[in-house]
Structure 1
């Protein structure tokens, strides 16, 4: 199986956090703590058996039908944004989408394993024909989970699994989980899953030094 290393631009990470926290705190004017969704653009390259995926941009889909435990984008809106981005940044590829999982508190996240993809997430991902046609090398799905904390402590980023990162921002806690799709030997759509994933979410690459990894002479 291919190994995947996923990196994010600062611009991408900021937009993901902004989209999730606005939907959580202010919702759509009728209810708060709702999910949000949007397309992801970036590029990829291959290094031996490893596929390196760079997530560069995302857009929050304002026309999506959003609720506390579900979100459904309009296909026409995604197609429109894809055409616009083709003109603004033709060097980027529509790789997949992100969505958020909002929870009231940490107990609710832990009780529901909230930072994991749900069965419904996986089913929708595997059934998205347009996304798979655009990404023969594997579409991307990302979830950003958040909840409100009772207390605020000094914390740093924390890798929960290779494919899951946790971090705090003010009184909110966030988790990012990434999944990559691929075709098996029979040509059937599969995904890297939640646990024992072949995805390495490389969020802290600027501060992480591999043993023996020298530069220069």
Structure 2
């Protein structure tokens, strides 16, 4: 499995995650605001199915949109399903070359130590990210064989930091670690798979989605080059 993130997608993802982290968000002018909250968005592009038994499925992310209607909190984000379905229908009608190919959300943490202590770049447990992604895939985009699910983790550094971008690999995820100014960022991706199950006896069809449990390759070469050239 491979996920390719095109260059012009990254400013949307990074700016949304850092804005939610740094800027106080208020429901009204007089209400008490919050910062270091999560944010959420949708990934658009196209899926290239494997051409052979030993080939790989590819998700190409060419654009992203941020869900401004999502309920955002320090420890969770809850998108509005009606908003997602509206955007999907709109884009399918007027931009048919784009498909819904995944989701994005951020994980904000106070410090580098906190991220490392609880492995904050990983998905939350079975009742969190993992179950949400499979339900999303099965109910919102069952026509896609695979979807990408990006997590952008943000932590504050004590001082301006710099380090060579490097990659990390888990059992069923793949990502990059990046130092950008006073922030440390982890860009991580998981993938979900949706299978069509046909019952010829009952003459029924249904979908079953699950988290991909294998090696994933995350590609964002332009991002890594920009970090190296401008830090």
Which category describes the TM-score, using the shorter chain as reference length? 0.7 to 0.9
Matched, 1:179 2:176: no
Counterpart CA distance in 2 for 1:59 and 1:123 is 22
TM-score (norm 1): 0.84
Aligned Cα RMSD in Å? 2.3
Structure of larger gyration radius:
2
Q: 5+ residue gaps in structure 2?
A: 27-32, 198-206, 226-231
Query: Of 202, 210, 215, which residue of structure 2 is paired with 1:198?
Result: 215
Counterpart CA distance in 2 for 1:79 and 1:183 is 18
Q: 5+ residue gaps in structure 1?
A: 209-217
Q: Is the 8 A contact 2:142 2:194 kept in 1?
A: no
Within-5 A mapping of 1:41-190? 41-45=44-48, 46-48=50-52, 49-119=55-125, 120-128=128-136, 129-135=138-144, 137-161=145-169, 163-183=174-194, 188-190=208-210
Q: Residue deviations 1:9-43, cap 9 Å, x none?
A: 11111110011000001142210000000111011
Report the alpha carbon displacement of residue 81 of structure 1 after superposing the two structures with TM. 1.6
Residue number in structure 1 paired with 2:40: 37
Counterpart CA distance in 1 for 2:223 and 2:19 is 28
Counterpart CA distance in 2 for 1:207 and 1:146 is 17
Residues paired across the two proteins, number: 201
Counterpart CA distance in 2 for 1:206 and 1:148 is 20
TM-score (norm 2): 0.79
CA spacing shift, 1:90–1:27, aligned 2, 3 Å: farther
